[in-house]
Amino acid sequence: MKNIHSQLIERFIREMEYRNYSPRSIQSYSSLLSKVESYYNQPLDKITGRQIKEYLHGRIMADKISVTMVNQYISAYKILQVDILQRDWEQIRIKRPRKEQRIPVVLSGEEVERLIKATANIKHRAILMLAYSSGLRRQEVQFIKPSAIDSSRMQIHVFQGKGKKDRYTILAKKTLDILREYYRWERPTKYLFEAQGRKGQNLSESTLNNIIKQGVELLT
């Protein structure tokens, strides 16, 4: 028989499904709530806003979790409180942290040249050029397919991006040149950027994060 812990998580998952969240977001949000629940060893409906604050403070200080992850915790907790438990969110008073300052998403011509010269690995170079010059999110880079590159219109068709919305973004000439060179070398079969030695499988999140981190370090 399932206990109150799993029942609340299941209700939370159903609520997110009703709202048409992506499977990835549902898995991520429900996993975060499960971690809080396990940390306090209490049912979710007994965990207070003050406890959430203390938990997040501990994660920030000890684990250096990102602002994005802090916001995901807060968003998950808000859905639980307001939509599942029918409680007043204003009484909880959790303020979201200020966002970190990041490098610009769209690169200048000088920054593009620096990336080309500084990155020796053709695959890494193609990923960085595409991500920064076109303003793609990490998950969009992770799952992009060759068919999304429209060289005739110099556009990139982003399918089911954030919020499950399609959009178009720019394709720079130098980025296209790098992508063509990379494609001739790598010959991906399904995704534009595939895991090393595993055709048809997209890059892992950790691998992509490491590549993006290298790009940040090159430009700072």
Cα dist from 149 to 13, 163, 183, 195, whole Å:
35, 21, 12, 19
Backbone φ, ψ for residue 170 (5° rounding): -75, 150
**Tokens representing 7?**
């029942």
Higher pLDDT, 138 or 31: 31
Structure tokens at 136: 């793609």
The per-residue pLDDT for 1 is: 35
For all residues of the chain together, what is the average pLDDT? 83
> Is residue 71 over pLDDT 80?
yes
> For the residues of 49-89, what is the DSSP string, one character each?
HHHHHHHHHHHHHHH---HHHHHHHHHHHHHIIIIIS---G
pLDDT tens-digit readout, 108-130: 667 767 766 777 788 988 998 88
pLDDT for the residue numbered 2: 47
Q: Where are the beta strands (DSSP E) in 71-202?
A: 149-150, 155-158, 167-170
Q: What domains are there in the chain, each with its CATH number?
A: 4-91 (1.10.150.130), 109-218 (1.10.443.10)
DSSP state of 157: E
21 pLDDT above the threshold of 70? yes
Cα–Cα distance, 9 to 142 (Å, whole number): 28
pLDDT greater than 70 at residue 4: no
**Angstrom distance (rounded) from CA 197 to CA 121:** 16
What is the pLDDT at residue 103? 45
Burial, 101: exposed, middle or buried (Cβ in 10 Å; 0-12, 13-18, 19+)? Answer: exposed
Instruction: Give the three-state DSSP class for 154.
Output: coil
Strand partners, 157: 168
Cα dist from 192 to 69, 128, 140, 189, 208, whole Å: 27, 13, 11, 8, 13
End-to-end Cα, the chain, rounded Å: 54
What per-residue confidence (pLDDT) applies to 109? Answer: 65
Q: 0.85 cut: is pTM over it?
A: no
The pair of structure tokens assigned to 114 is 């620096």
